[in-house]
A and B are shown apart, each in its own frame.
Chain A
Amino acid sequence: METTPQSPADEKPLVFLAQPLFPEFAAALAGRYRFVLAAATSAEARVLLVPGLAPVTAQQLGRLPALELVAGTSVGVDHVDLDTCRSRGLIVTNAGPAFAVDSADYAVGLVVAVLRRVAAVDAYVRRGRWAADGDYPLATKVSGKRVGIVGLGNIGSRVARRLAAFGCAVSYHSRSPKPASPYTFVPALLDLAAGSDVLVLSCALTDETKHMVNREVMEALGKDGVLINVGRGGLVDEPELVRCLREGALGGAGLDVYENEPAVPPELFDMDNVVLSDHRAVITPESIRGALEVVTANLDAFFSGRPLVSPVQL
């Protein structure tokens, strides 16, 4: 992490880091930029690279008066104080579509795993119970289920296409309808939940969407309904989710994200109609490389005065 100034011709652009780089990032970006951990005030920092999901607060941003760009490496940027960014006119970029395919694949994996009880049956078989206790109870069909997608962006649109190939009927809810989309737009989330067998959350976490999936929505989804969350834990009222599952008001859930990761409500651990994962939907070695490409493209564009690749609308 070189900080002593070299001659102007050699000087690589200076990029401040909100937290240390992952090894893969360090290796890929080494030699192109000078990195400094933004632990202290810096009058020079124009760019802050946010390699993970650790919060970027108003205070931290306040210590960087020359800041122009906050470059995230994830899809969701709710860990960044966007109000401060907006009021200071900062640009925020995210990973764009880099993680979309893998998130969508995982969401589909969760849908099948919950409906067909794959994870539960796997545990059952591993404990020798198939031979001892007979067949696991019947699971339910995936094909033909009515799927409601919340947020039809990069991830949501890919989930839609995949589940349509399974013979599912797809509708969606988002801030505004997407005219180019072949799927049915439903203006109210509650109506989408009421008319769906499976609700997939793939939208950003904002003040408007926080706890959008509340008791009412879960009850509308119903005792045979399944909630899949590959967005952000904060989209769901988590204690209410646990209650609804316990009471049988909601039929099942596939969760990749939680309100206080890595803490997962332990009440979920012995529920067979729930599949849990450790915020892995987005991550494969290939998608990390993809994210790196987007980040690099954004940094290159910024330092050469070209339009950014994946700015987030604040």
Chain B
Amino acid sequence: MASAIAAATAPPTGAQHSVLLLRRANDYLAATLRARYRVLSFYDSGAPLPAFLAASAATEPEPPRAALVVGGGAIRVDAAFLDAAPYLRCVVTTAAGLDHVDLAECARRGVLVAGAGEVFSTDVADHAVGLLIDVLRNVSAADRYVRRGLWPVQGDYPLGSKLGGKRVGIIGLGSIGSSIAKRLKALGCVIQYHSRRPKDTVSFKYFHDVISLATESDALIVACALNDQTRHIVNKEVLGALGKDGVVVNIARGGNIDEAELISALREGKIAGAGLDVFEKEPVVPAEFFSMDNVVLTGHEAVFTTESGSDLCDLMIGNLEAFFDGRPLLTPVLPK
């Protein structure tokens, strides 16, 4: 393929390959990149994206063939983007999700895409389980209560509910979903799941659709990718099926849940609680949640820990080096 041949060609001796940096970089990442590549930083340029991409075409001795992007919706690698940067042959993303990359467009143009592999899985899983325990056992709510000095005055905060024996329905049993399952099993939960296809390597009960999963679950954990099929996969019907004692935890994408319906369901007591790390319009969180004691809110931090940051840097650099050396990507999303 033309892209692979172009990638394998080394630049003139002494020069570095150029790389587009379309995300904020911490010191470690910035230093590591600059040691190896000529870095064209979008956020440092201050220019609007189309101007930045156009100007980058003129880079000497060669335009940047690889770009580092992050998720979160700030920049979409779609047809318009790729039209503005036809010199790009490889996109390295470090988001746990891929909804910001139009994979079909990239495939059509022969652009390689490297993902985050399993770097995030343990941290997201840890956080998901933390959220579930928090919602069921009122950890954050009790913390608020004690801090307000209410314990001596009003007595004990209301009881939470036992984790052991709860039927937890996981939507999406990829590496994050599986890591969640492993932790919850140790906590005595019964694991069941829905995904596009059943996994024959696991013994958990499989449900063909989310409504039947919700009907037979005490808690739902959303751990699937966001795409056209999974937008609002947790909707009014699913919340209704989950029921008034059920709770939902979302560490995937805000768009996986119909946020307005979730708010109604919580307001009307149609479900018992929720633990949310992601929202439809981050960082805006609907104020209706703020007065709900049966909801735990975190700021899209499931993936981010100080340790995963450096793991991620290493993975990004590893993918860039593989691309420029003409080797297969370490964590390829495209080609499949």
Contacts and interface: CB of A to CB of B under 8 A. Distances in A.
- State yes or no: do A and B come from one complex: yes
Interface of A: 101-102, 105-106, 108-110, 112-113, 116-119, 121-128, 130-131, 134-136, 138-144, 161-162, 164-167, 261-264, 266, 269, 275-280, 283-287
Given A144-B307, A275-B140, 15 more contacts: A101-B164, A105-B137, A106-B133, A108-B129, A109-B130, A122-B296, A124-B299, A141-B308, A143-B123, A161-B186, A262-B151, A277-B139, A277-B146, A283-B159, A285-B161
Contacts of A110: 139
B239 interface: no
B64 to A, nearest CB: 27
B154 to A, nearest CB: 10
Contact of A278 (B129, B142, B188, B301): B142
Interface string B151-162: 110011101111
Interface residues of B, number: 56
Contacts of B309: 138
A287 B134 CA distance: 17
A125 B130 CA distance: 17
Interface of B: 122-123, 126-127, 129-131, 133-134, 137-140, 142-147, 149, 151-152, 155-157, 159-164, 182-183, 185-188, 282-285, 287, 289-290, 296-301, 304-309
Contacts of A142: 123, 126, 130
Given A109-B134, A122-B296, A262-B151, A116 B159 contact: no
Given A101-B164, A277-B142, A280-B159, A112 B290 contact: no
20 contacts: A112-B134, A116-B130, A118-B130, A118-B139, A118-B298, A121-B297, A121-B299, A122-B140, A123-B144, A128-B290, A136-B301, A140-B306, A142-B123, A142-B130, A143-B122, A264-B151, A269-B147, A277-B143, A280-B137, A280-B157
Contacts of B152: 262-263
Contacts of A135: 283, 299-301, 304
B157 to A, nearest CB: 5
A103 to B, nearest CB: 11
Given A118-B139, A121-B299, A162-B187, A101 B162 contact: yes
A121 B157 CA distance: 21
Contacts of A164: 186
B134 A118 contact: yes
B146 A278 contact: yes
B188 A106 contact: no
Contacts of A165: 182-183, 185-187
Given A109-B133, A131-B284, A119 B143 contact: yes
A283 B296 CA distance: 20
Contact of B156 (A118, A122, A128, A280): A280
Contact of B146 (A102, A125, A141, A264): A264
Q: Counting chain B CB atoms within 10 Å of each CB, which of A124, A125, A164, A284 scores highest?
A: A125
Closest 5 CB pairs of A and B: A112-B130, A165-B186, A109-B133, A142-B126, A262-B151
